[in-house]
């Protein structure tokens, strides 16, 4: 069966707040040296799928530079490989993507030109390892028009997912997007779909005339169930949507545990990435590292506990980094304390500063639904003054300079942004 994969990677990542101010969510660093999209790309090539279209839209530059011609994933191929596809405007054709299914609809020519019999639709912002071949075999054996990967979730979490109701043969009887009541079962859609190309094209063409903002969960899947063979494929492995600040922080720290839920060191299922040319990590004579991931190019002269350091991070003598995620090339000054925080790339923390201070867990006033669990987030290239104290659930926008901090004590739940002269 000829298969192409379409990776949806155009999301703005609004729930990741300032981490996505200048980049798409799939381009955010994860577990030190990786990007989030590396997991889906690696799943494809490890499953023998080498015809991929990555559908980008929001802030694509970082993602485009990371993927480029796809060499780290062995996708720089003359007869296949990776294709970066952004929306475009032409004479009477093209438009911005207005939904997940609309993005695929606007790029359906990719599958048709490849004469693909099936289209594997994937999200570029999930962390998991999955061999897609058994799912494709299941799809063929059932003679399905659509197969949806599902996994069991706790009953109290079903309102966060699209829930499938199935019969004994795993045929889907009903699909409910984020049901408010816990009576639809616990099989949650993972956002991994296998469509017969012909069936997908017919449904998208028909529905697009009526619903331009076409979405798979809201529109396409419910409409297909009544008129086609739709099956659910159970997946029992590790899978996480790291689309919120808390999920991103928590999942990163899980990867640093002695026995992480996802093995990043498996030689039989390598997670490929575009590696940064940096020297080996170094721990100085005063350095101390406990239960952490330390990437290439890091220099640790202070203490790092239960944290993840991306490439090129410098931790000065006397500094403490605790239960935090530090993205590339950040600099932590002498005697500084970083606790339960996320620092984006090239952040500079002055001597003696405290980021993540105190026991006040007041939710962030600007984004209370996303910053309420005590995590403070600092946007890239910000310079935090020495000696300052920053509380919990604080959001600091990118590119803030020392003069943008109004006081030496930033209370929990506050937001700091650039002061612009009128």
Burial class (CB in 10 A: 0-12, 13-18, 19+), 48: exposed
Over the stretch 150-188, which tens digit does the pLDDT of each residue have?
A: 999 988 888 888 899 999 999 999 998 888 877 788 999
Over the stretch 58-93, which tens digit does the pLDDT of each residue have?
A: 999 999 999 999 999 999 988 889 999 998 776 566
Over the stretch 297-355, which tens digit does the pLDDT of each residue have?
A: 999 999 999 999 999 999 999 999 999 999 999 999 999 999 999 999 999 999 999 99
The answer on 38 and 106 residing in a single domain is yes
The answer on 392 and 296 residing in a single domain is yes
User: Would residue 142 count as lying in a domain?
Assistant: yes
- Within a 13 Å sphere around the CA of 104, how many CA atoms are in the beta-carbon half? 29
The answer on 38 and 154 residing in a single domain is yes
**The pair of three-digit structure tokens given for residue 215, joined into one six-digit string:** 């979405």
The answer on 421 and 340 residing in a single domain is yes
Which CATH number goes with the domain that contains 36?
A: 3.90.550.10
The answer on 89 and 230 residing in a single domain is yes
How far is 252 from 235, CA to CA, in rounded Å?
22
| The pLDDT value given to residue 208 | 86
The answer on 193 and 120 residing in a single domain is yes
Place of tokens 């996320």: 342
How far is 89 from 245, CA to CA, in rounded Å?
34
DSSP code, position 364: P
The answer on 202 and 71 residing in a single domain is yes
pLDDT for 256 beyond 80: yes
In the chain, the number of structural domains is 2
The answer on 209 and 133 residing in a single domain is yes
The DSSP H or E segment spanning 252 is helix 245-255
Q: What angle do CA 390, 395, 400 make, to 5 degrees?
A: 85
CA dihedral for 172, 173, 179, 180, sign (positive or negative): negative
Over the stretch 200-210, which tens digit does the pLDDT of each residue have?
A: 999 999 998 88
User: Would residue 183 count as lying in a domain?
Assistant: yes
CA dihedral for 364, 367, 371, 375, sign (positive or negative): negative
| The pLDDT value given to residue 93 | 61
| The pLDDT value given to residue 92 | 61
The answer on 285 and 208 residing in a single domain is no
What percent of the chain is predicted at pLDDT more than 90?
84
User: Would residue 263 count as lying in a domain?
Assistant: no
The answer on 409 and 281 residing in a single domain is yes
The SS3 call for residue 51 is strand
| The pLDDT value given to residue 160 | 82
Claim: this prediction has a pTM higher than 0.85: yes
pLDDT for 394 beyond 90: yes
User: Would residue 265 count as lying in a domain?
Assistant: no
User: Would residue 261 count as lying in a domain?
Assistant: no
**What's the average model confidence in pLDDT over 24-43?**
97
**What's the average model confidence in pLDDT over 401-416?**
96
**What's the average model confidence in pLDDT over 250-269?**
96
User: Would residue 40 count as lying in a domain?
Assistant: yes
The answer on 221 and 357 residing in a single domain is no
User: Would residue 334 count as lying in a domain?
Assistant: yes
The answer on 91 and 33 residing in a single domain is yes
Mean pLDDT, the chain, integer:
94
User: Would residue 269 count as lying in a domain?
Assistant: no
Non-local (6+) Cβ contacts of 21 within 8 A are 379, 380, 397, 398
For residue 331, the enclosing domain spans: 276-422
Non-local (6+) Cβ contacts of 291 within 8 A are 256, 257, 258, 305, 306
Over the stretch 221-234, which tens digit does the pLDDT of each residue have?
A: 999 998 899 999 99
Strand partners, 84: 54
Question: Do residues 215 and 207 lie in contact, with contact meaning Cβ atoms separated by under 8 Å?
Answer: no
pLDDT for 422 beyond 70: no
Q: How do beta strands 118-123 and 187-196 pair?
A: antiparallel
């Amino acid at each position: 069966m000829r298969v192409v994969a379409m990776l949806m990677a155009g999301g703005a990542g609004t729930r990741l707040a300032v981490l996505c101010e200048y980049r798409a969510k799939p381009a955010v660093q994860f577990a030190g040296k990786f990007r989030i999209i590396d997991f889906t790309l690696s799943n494809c090539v490890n499953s023998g799928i080498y015809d991929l279209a990555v559908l980008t839209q929001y802030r694509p530059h970082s993602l485009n530079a990371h993927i480029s011609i796809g060499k780290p994933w062995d996708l720089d191929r003359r007869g296949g490989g990776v294709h970066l596809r952004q929306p475009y405007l032409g004479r009477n054709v093209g438009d911005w993507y207005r939904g997940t299914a609309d993005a695929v609809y606007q790029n359906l020519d990719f599958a048709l030109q490849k004469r693909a019999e099936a289209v594997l639709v994937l999200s570029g912002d999930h962390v998991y390892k999955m061999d897609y071949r058994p799912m494709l075999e299941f799809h063929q054996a059932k003679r399905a028009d659509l197969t949806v990967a599902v996994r069991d979730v706790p009953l109290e979490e079903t309102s966060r997912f699209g829930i499938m109701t199935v019969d004994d043969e795993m045929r889907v009887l009903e699909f409910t997007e984020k049901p408010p009541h816990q009576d639809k079962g616990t099989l949650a859609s993972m956002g991994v779909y296998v469509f017969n190309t012909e069936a997908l094209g017919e449904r998208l063409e028909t529905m697009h005339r009526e619903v331009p903002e076409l979405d798979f969960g809201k529109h396409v899947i419910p409409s297909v169930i009544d008129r086609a063979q739709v099956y659910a494929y159970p997946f029992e492995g590790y899978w996480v949507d790291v689309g919120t600040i808390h999920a991103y922080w928590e999942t990163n720290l899980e990867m640093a545990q002695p026995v992480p839920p996802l093995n990043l060191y498996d030689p039989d299922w390598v997670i490929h990435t575009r590696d940064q040319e940096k020297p080996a990590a170094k721990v100085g004579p005063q350095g101390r590292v406990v239960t952490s991931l330390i990437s290439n190019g890091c220099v640790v002269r202070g203490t790092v506990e239960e944290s993840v350091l991306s490439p090129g991070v410098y931790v000065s003598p006397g500094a403490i980094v605790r239960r935090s995620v530090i993205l590339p090339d950040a600099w932590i000054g002498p005697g500084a304390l970083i606790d339960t925080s996320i620092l984006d790339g090239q952040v500079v923390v002055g001597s003696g500063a405290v980021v993540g201070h105190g026991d006040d867990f007041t939710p962030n006033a600007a984004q209370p639904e996303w910053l309420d669990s005590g995590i403070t987030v600092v946007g890239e290239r910000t310079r935090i003054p020495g000696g300052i104290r920053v509380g919990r659930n604080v959001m600091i926008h990118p590119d803030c300079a020392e003069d943008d901090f109004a006081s030496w004590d930033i209370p929990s739940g506050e937001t700091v942004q650039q002061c612009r002269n009128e």
